[in-house]
Chain A
Amino acid sequence: MHEKAKKLIEEYREYAEANGFRLNPNTKAVEHLVQALLKNEEQHGKRYCPCRKIHNDESVCPCIYHKKEIEEQGHCHCYLFVSKDS
């Protein structure tokens, strides 16, 4: 895994911890998602969620939906972030 991906994973980990949830403990899933985010950044200009096909500021990771999704479902839609007790 290249340095940019590793750095981004760490950023998201710190973000999750600062906001009361956590990164998905499945490291393979996280790597897959981060690769997808970086791919979207390269191709479309921003880190759009790989599971949302409308590319606007609302779907830039972390998207505007993630906190509510984590609270209601225990995870954000793409499973990058999960609740602490999930």
Chain B
Amino acid sequence: MATNETEIKINVKDDDFEEKVIGQSKKVMVVVDFWAEWCMPCLMLGPVLEKVIQEYKGKIILAKLDVDQNPILSQKYRIDSIPAVKIFKGGKIVDEFIGALPESHVRERIGRNIN
């Protein structure tokens, strides 16, 4: 479990994704937000993800990945449209969605995967 607030939201890159997402997801659920600064729905979804994930008090990590700065992972995970969210547990993707979903939908998607 993440132990304090600063660990709940992290930025990840091409060269630390393996450790910070794949590795960590074997201990806690990791929600990866593929985003870019010029993408309006990304800027809308970001705060919603943070709000929902914070409510889980360390049981979930939110990993932000800027697709413009990290082309290798964007290609590996076939990110065609953003925002794209992929939920990792046990080293694997267990769920994913695209677009700025309303808070209730985000809450439902996170909630269904946490258990």
> Which residues from chain A sit less than 8 Å from chain B, CB to CB?
29, 32-33, 35-36, 39, 50-54, 77-80
Contact = CB atoms under 8 A, between A and B. Distances in A.
Nearest to A65: B81
Contacts, number: 42
A50 B80 contact: no
B59 to A, nearest CB: 30
A56 to B, nearest CB: 11
25 contacts: A29-B40, A32-B38, A32-B40, A33-B38, A33-B40, A35-B38, A39-B38, A50-B36, A50-B38, A50-B40, A51-B40, A51-B41, A51-B42, A51-B81, A52-B80, A52-B82, A53-B74, A53-B80, A53-B81, A53-B82, A77-B41, A78-B39, A78-B41, A79-B41, A79-B44
